[in-house]
Structure 1
Amino acid sequence: MKFTLFALSTALLGANAFQPSTFGVRPVMQLQSTATETKAFPKLPASVKPGVVTGKALEDLLNHAKDKGFAMPGVNIVGSNSINACMEAAKVYGGPIMVTFSKGGGAYIAGKAADNTDDAASIAGCIAGAKHVREVAKLYGVPVILHTDHCQKAWLPWIDGLLEASEEYYKLHGEPLFSSHMLDLSEEPLEENIAICKEYMEKFAKVDILLEFELGVTGGEEDGVDNSDVDSSRLYTQPEEVMYAYEQLSQVPNAMFTCAASFGNVHGVYAPGNVDLQPVILHNTQKYMQEKLGGEAKPMKFVFHGGSGSSVDDIQYAIEAGVIKMNIDTDTQWAYWDGIRKYEAEHHDYLQGQIGNPDGAEIPNKKYYDPRMALRSGEEAMRDRLIQSAKDLKCTDVL
């Protein structure tokens, strides 16, 4: 009977319908359908699907952004409200989004009263936030990158804890919990910076995590990292430094990395004209590397930290040099607060007590002081600011 079924299948499907494999006989048609991926987004590589993007799909997405000339917003978040605002914005503007956790943001998500001995709260909060993203990201129908921000040398135990979580997640699901991590060792000598990055790159590569490393220093202050008084010469990375890092990290099998090179960018709030941004440094670096390596015109994928106070022209000129992501925090923080502030101003007279408002002394105000009302206003304002950022980054309608 088995022979008859096999013979019938062969007659109907052809002599090559079945081939031996490690696991026994497998239909060729199944092999072919597995090899041919269905595109979820007409304008993106077939490997990129809705939800959290990791590994090869992440690398495909970033290479595509570099080739097509757009960058995605990388947004610092502090809870589910700001996470959801990010994904809602991406759904509206029609492009990918990078949701970024900081060490302080993770501690806040865990709760200000949580024990943060040995970074326990920072680690737990980031893991909880990442799991929230993974539960809801597909509902927004956009690619989402789970990233962590600045980790200086003293904070490496925080990343160790997150890496352990990704390793456990990888065992269960075949992909890491987080898409990528940033190591900011720019305060250390170049050789030490890259040596430590290389050690972590070897660990990351085993579970398909991308490394973002920093060369030079991003000025200003953000979330516990204060470079306000740094020597201005350190705000500008040299091409030779980028080339050295590229060569060292490329020695790691399966390595994926991006470079946060400094070209005058700063964290914080600055009036237009007060930031001496020099994106030409990135162009010169790409040219230098191409001459050394041969091959593609823009061998390095750059990321842009500290975009506050930068002109749209400078931002887009940096994108032309291979910037595929720009960090956004200061402006979205203000937008979120501004949304809440406007809500309070509009409904002020209905927010002064549980009962009693201009419509009557005994009318309840619950629908106005429900926390979801004010928080939703913050989400909407943050969403709208990110939509504007996506336009500046040429990241709209790219799916």
Structure 2
Amino acid sequence: MNLKQVLKNAKKEGEAVGQFNFSAWVQLRGIFKAAQEQNQPIIIGTSGGESRHVGLKQAVILVEMAREQYGVSAFLNLDHGRDLEWIKQAVDAGYDAVHFDGSELSLKENIEQTREVAEYAHENDVVVEGELGYLTGSSEEHSEKIKIEKENLTSPRQVQQFVEQTDVDSLAIAIGNVHGVYAEMPNLDLERLERIEKETGAFLVLHGGSGIPDEDVQKAIEKGIVKINVNTELRLTWKESLTKALKKDSIKPYEILPEVERAIQEKVNSKINLFHG
């Protein structure tokens, strides 16, 4: 199946497909082992920084290798692309999907640049995700509370115009979700999500899937979310498990890293279970 069909099936079944980001092979192995165990399709994400660290062509090759090794339906997505040329390079390198983040632009500029990405990507059968609304925060652990400004949330009135004029396949929305994990997580505006869902047939995406209470995630899926991105929790799991593993009396990576891999696998397992009910 292609990615559109996977998302369509998730929407029909009232489930969500997880996107899990990586920037190291040990993370990728843990993610794929969880997907294999759960027998569920996944999306592998690389942010701008992650894709530059790994390399676009290298990321494509690594995912292809893992896909073949573990027998998992997996799709590679460029997450939060802002540089049009870098996005086009990702398409040319063999990415299955690209996300253009024009959330810091005016609506007019966002539409124009997202449409440019969609035209280029669709010529190569690549799925395109746009973004409407602005997500606060950064993909890290924060000790403070975060404040959500209402004007940053996705406007249901703009959704139909944005999707029709850009021709995106999926749409990342801001409904109180944030990047990162905070001491007190904000509540999701589920009523806003319902209004957005009524305005478009595009697949709705929830970024900032880390730290949101399970009950809220389940409600968001029930109300139309079909893709959920997880990054910060995987980074925290990687750091915590690596710190613990390094206390072992060993300097051999092959004795240390399996503990990290298992921890990531467990975290992804829990997320896949949540997203697929």
TM-score scaled by structure 1?
A: 0.65
1:382 corresponds to 2:264: yes
1:69 corresponds to 2:9: no
Partner-residue secondary structure (3-state), 1:198: helix
1:278 corresponds to 2:221: no
Aligned to 1:262: 174
Instruction: Tell me how far 1:126 sits from its aligned partner.
Output: 2.1
Alignment of 1:102-181 (within 5 A): 102-109=47-54, 125-152=55-82, 155-165=83-93, 177-181=94-98
Distance 1:230 1:248 in 2: 31
Question: Which amino acid is 1:133 matched to?
Answer: V
2:206–2:225 Cα contact (<8 Å) kept: yes
2:211–2:233 Cα contact (<8 Å) kept: no
Question: Which amino acid is 1:383 matched to?
Answer: Q
Aligned to 2:208: 306
Question: Which amino acid is 2:256 matched to?
Answer: A
Query: Structure 1 segments of 4 or more deviating over 6 A?
Result: 228-231
Distance 1:231 1:218 in 2: 9
Distance 1:310 1:234 in 2: 21
Distance of aligned partners of 1:186 and 1:94 in 2 relative to their CA distance in 1, 3 Å threshold = same
Instruction: Tell me how far 1:369 sits from its aligned partner.
Output: 2.1
Distance 1:266 1:105 in 2: 19
Instruction: Tell me how far 1:259 sits from its aligned partner.
Output: 0.3
CA deviations 1:84-113 (Å, max 9, x no partner) are 11111101122111111112112322xxxx
2:175–2:188 Cα contact (<8 Å) kept: yes
2:34–2:265 Cα contact (<8 Å) kept: yes
Distance 1:206 1:230 in 2: 40
1:235–1:264 Cα contact (<8 Å) kept: no
1:204 corresponds to 2:121: yes
Distance 2:90 2:147 in 1: 30
Distance 2:65 2:209 in 1: 30
Aligned to 2:28: 83
Partner-residue secondary structure (3-state), 1:150: strand
Distance 1:146 1:310 in 2: 24
Question: Which amino acid is 1:130 matched to?
Answer: V
1:332–1:385 Cα contact (<8 Å) kept: yes
Question: Which amino acid is 1:378 matched to?
Answer: V
2:35–2:269 Cα contact (<8 Å) kept: yes
Give the counterpart of 2:38 among 85, 93, 110: 93
Instruction: Tell me how far 1:288 sits from its aligned partner.
Output: 4.1
CA deviations 1:135-155 (Å, max 9, x no partner) are 231221221011011122xx2
Aligned to 2:154: 237
Instruction: Tell me how far 1:265 sits from its aligned partner.
Output: 0.7
Distance 1:372 1:126 in 2: 26
Partner-residue secondary structure (3-state), 2:210: coil
Distance of aligned partners of 1:79 and 1:274 in 2 relative to their CA distance in 1, 3 Å threshold = closer
Question: Which amino acid is 1:157 matched to?
Answer: E
Flag structure 2 segments of 5+ consecutive residues without an equivalent. none
Larger radius of gyration: 1
Instruction: Tell me how far 1:229 sits from its aligned partner.
Output: 8.9
CA deviations 1:279-330 (Å, max 9, x no partner) are 32121122244xxxxxxxxx23111111233111211111122211111111
Distance of aligned partners of 1:233 and 1:141 in 2 relative to their CA distance in 1, 3 Å threshold = same
Question: Which amino acid is 1:106 matched to?
Answer: S
Flag structure 1 segments of 5+ consecutive residues without an equivalent. 1-47, 49-56, 110-124, 166-176, 251-255, 290-298, 352-367
Partner-residue secondary structure (3-state), 1:149: strand
Partner-residue secondary structure (3-state), 2:65: helix
2:159–2:199 Cα contact (<8 Å) kept: no
Give the counterpart of 1:191 among 88, 98, 108: 108
1:321 corresponds to 2:232: no
Distance 1:229 1:191 in 2: 28
CA deviations 1:339-392 (Å, max 9, x no partner) are 2233234x3xxx2xxxxxxxxxxxxxxxx3211221211111011001011122
Instruction: Tell me how far 1:231 sits from its aligned partner.
Output: 6.7
